[in-house]
Amino acid sequence: MAAPPVRPAGILTDMPPTILITGANRGIGLELARQYAAGRWQVRACCRQPERAEELGHLAGSAAGRVTVHRLDVTDGKAIAALADALRGEPIDILLNNAGVFGVSGEHPGNLAESDWIDVLRVNTIAPFMMAGAFLDHVKQGSRRIIATISSKMGSIADNSSGGRYSYRSSKAAVNMVMKSLAVDLKEAGIIAITLNPGWVRTRMRGAGAPLSVEESAAGLRGVLDRLKPEDSGNFFNHDGSVIPW
């Protein structure tokens, strides 16, 4: 196993790198927490209901203190601010916005409720922006300085040939733009902002017939994050490292 990244001289060199992951209770988020902990990172694993996140709890209990579980509803601005305050002064090398929802099935013109659409936008689009703002100082203190959001190829306008899934597609297209703007606005601070497509993965959210396992997807995403350079900021990366058209 490769050694963990090393902080540059003068930036808390005695501390392991830290990643904060939202939606870490299952699927890709849980597997990323597992893989980063195995790589000797400090993992701040966030989810809405820690008491129901049995697998995450087991991981935290067996990870030799490298995984800390935090209660967080990403649609609650006060909760986001409270967690940022609780972690004040702690460098975060990677802020990974993984929490997401797929929306209701069978969407088509005339049957998509406005409230359902807004709920998807709150989680998939607005929450990553609010997280970026709340944890900006933490990321600035880190050595990697990465803000990454799990998007989807379904948010690519150029790739859309099948239609449907209005709330999910639009929320992911919108968060792509949010992260692109963050890449521009945070360039002077040396922060890399990107979106990531995990691929079609066998999770409860995406279905049993998907070609990728969570382990394969998470390993690919880690590889992309490990290789990021400042000039990569503002891009939309596939789990295999290729760039996806907007």
**What's the 3-state SS for 46-67?**
EECCHHHCHHHHHHHHHCCCCE
Side-chain-facing half-sphere of 60: CA atoms under 13 Å = 18
Rounded CA-CA distance 177/234 in Å is: 9
Rounded CA-CA distance 219/225 in Å is: 10
Q: What is the pLDDT of residue 205?
A: 60
Rounded CA-CA distance 155/160 in Å is: 8
What's this model's pTM, rounded to 2 decimal places? 0.91
Residue 215 class from Cβ within 10 Å (0-12 exposed, 13-18 middle, 19+ buried)?
A: middle
Q: What is the mean pLDDT of residues 19-44?
A: 98
pLDDT tens-digit readout, 54-94: 999 999 999 999 999 999 999 999 999 999 999 999 999 99
Q: What is the pLDDT of residue 14?
A: 67
